[in-house]
């Protein structure tokens, strides 16, 4: 009797959890596919932005006085040897994704140690509540922390607001570089903790020559410098947004794989416990019938 009650209780609990696992699996699958599709769209848009910059470089070089974009006004030695770096660690807002956040945190810590060992001043920032909590527990509170969407993909304004502030600080010589640590998507359930340098932006040089320039040359009716600066700013924001989508694809694919395995385990346990309950009930029925038969004198001693 006690064994039957224990098995029945476990069976009821697993039957209650199984629909939740299936729902999380379905949601993760949808978010995973959406993040991949949105990431592909962002990459195509970034390629179009990059194709515009070489067309503007000749107009900047032919002006009467040298007018470089503000992000290129820093000295080359400052760009090659940064002294102040912002380190952004990207994780997730929810759990149920294995070592996803621990892997990103460990990679960020190693990069942080390397920068500080080189004598570089580092400002730690985080995106995602899980990564922020890990750093807090390890007595490394970030200077700034932001939240990600729990139900949807990372919003573009998050990337735009961060890069706008960083570029303003970069122009004012308040920082020299921005490094981003995140889990790069590597396929279904696979990711690789990665460090990428977001700022300084990679720009074409004034002396570049482009053999595939369109003909006739484009007509630019606005200030080339303002247009160039606007494109560069948007390109940096798009690059960070692409990183956020890549990390989101890795997160949701990992959660989908874990929920898929958990759902299969739940189905297996339900089948096993169902057989245990049925066997226990059959044993009880058999025992009751024997007791009734013995009470009626149908069975001998």
pLDDT tens track for 206-255: 544 444 566 777 778 788 888 888 999 999 999 999 999 999 999 999 99
How far is it, in rounded angstroms, from Cα 187 to Cα 90?
18
In the prediction, which pLDDT does 195 show? 97
* pLDDT over 70 percentage in the chain: 86
In the prediction, which pLDDT does 80 show? 58
In the prediction, which pLDDT does 228 show? 87
- Evaluate the omega torsion of the peptide bond into residue 200 and state whether it is cis, within 30 degrees of 0: yes
Section 170-187 average pLDDT: 94
Environment class of residue 204 by beta-carbon count within 10 Å: exposed (0-12), middle (13-18) or buried (19+)?
A: middle
Tokens at 199, concatenated: 């700022």
In the prediction, which pLDDT does 282 show? 78
Distances (CA, A) of 65 to 53, 70, 75, 164, 202: 20, 15, 18, 27, 23
Distances (CA, A) of 169 to 4, 131, 164, 194, 299: 67, 25, 9, 24, 94
In the prediction, which pLDDT does 50 show? 87
- Assess whether pLDDT exceeds 80 at residue 264: yes
User: Residue holding tokens 């910059």?
Assistant: 53
CA atoms within 13 A on the CB side of 5: 2
Top pLDDT among 149 and 91 is at 91
In the prediction, which pLDDT does 254 show? 95
In the prediction, which pLDDT does 67 show? 40
7 and 270 Cβ atoms separated by less than 8 Å: no
Environment class of residue 112 by beta-carbon count within 10 Å: exposed (0-12), middle (13-18) or buried (19+)?
A: buried
Section 127-150 average pLDDT: 94
- Assess whether pLDDT exceeds 50 at residue 34: yes
Which residue spans within the chain are E strands per DSSP?
Answer: 84-90, 121-127, 144-146, 177-185, 191-199
The structure's pTM equals 0.83
Average of per-residue pLDDT values in the chain = 86
User: Residue holding tokens 């139900």?
Assistant: 151
For the chain, give every domain's residue range: 25-257
- Assess whether pLDDT exceeds 50 at residue 188: yes
Domain 25-257: top CATH class = alpha beta
Angle between helices 100-117 and 129-137 (to 10 degrees): 60
In the prediction, which pLDDT does 22 show? 92
How far is it, in rounded angstroms, from Cα 141 to Cα 126?
10
- Strand bridging mode 144-146 / 121-127: parallel
User: Residue holding tokens 């003909």?
Assistant: 215
- Assess whether pLDDT exceeds 60 at residue 136: yes
How far is it, in rounded angstroms, from Cα 225 to Cα 283?
86
* pLDDT tens readout for residues 46-100: 999 888 888 887 777 554 443 444 555 444 444 557 889 999 999 999 988 999 9
In the prediction, which pLDDT does 283 show? 75
In the prediction, which pLDDT does 166 show? 96
Closest CA to 153 of 243, 60, 58, 280: 243
Buried b (16+ CB within 10 A) or exposed e, 12-25: eebeeebeebbebb
- Evaluate the omega torsion of the peptide bond into residue 216 and state whether it is cis, within 30 degrees of 0: yes
Tokens at 160, concatenated: 């735009």
Section 18-32 average pLDDT: 92
How far is it, in rounded angstroms, from Cα 126 to Cα 133?
10
């Amino acid at each position: 009797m006690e064994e039957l009650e224990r098995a029945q209780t476990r069976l009821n609990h697993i039957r209650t959890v199984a629909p939740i696992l299936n729902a999380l699996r379905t949601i993760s699958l949808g978010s995973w596919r959406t993040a991949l599709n949105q990431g592909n769209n962002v990459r195509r848009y970034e390629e179009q932005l990059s194709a515009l910059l070489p067309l503007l470089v000749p107009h900047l070089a032919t002006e009467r006085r040298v007018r470089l974009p503000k992000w290129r006004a820093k000295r080359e030695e400052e760009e090659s040897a940064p002294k102040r770096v912002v380190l952004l660690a990207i994780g997730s807002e929810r759990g149920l994704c294995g070592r996803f956040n621990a892997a990103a945190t460990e990679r960020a810590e190693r990069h942080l140690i390397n920068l500080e060992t080189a004598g570089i001043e580092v400002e730690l920032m985080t995106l995602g509540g899980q990564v922020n909590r890990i750093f807090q527990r390890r007595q490394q509170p970030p200077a700034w922390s932001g939240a990600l969407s729990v139900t949807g993909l990372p919003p573009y304004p998050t990337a735009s607001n961060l890069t706008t502030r960083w570029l303003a600080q970069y122009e004012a010589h308040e920082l020299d570089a921005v490094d981003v640590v995140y889990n790069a998507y590597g396929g279904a359930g696979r990711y690789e903790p990665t460090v990428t340098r977001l700022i300084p932006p990679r720009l074409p040089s004034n002396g570049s020559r482009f053999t595939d320039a369109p003909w006739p040359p484009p007509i630019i009716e606005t200030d080339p410098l303002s247009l160039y600066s606007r494109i560069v700013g948007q390109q940096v924001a798009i690059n960070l947004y692409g990183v956020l989508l890549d990390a989101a694809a890795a997160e949701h694919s990992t959660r989908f794989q874990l929920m898929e395995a958990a759902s299969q385990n739940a189905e297996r346990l339900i089948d096993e416990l169902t057989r245990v309950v049925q066997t226990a009930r059959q044993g009880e029925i058999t025992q009751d019938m024997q007791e009734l038969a013995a009470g009626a004198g149908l069975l001998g001693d």
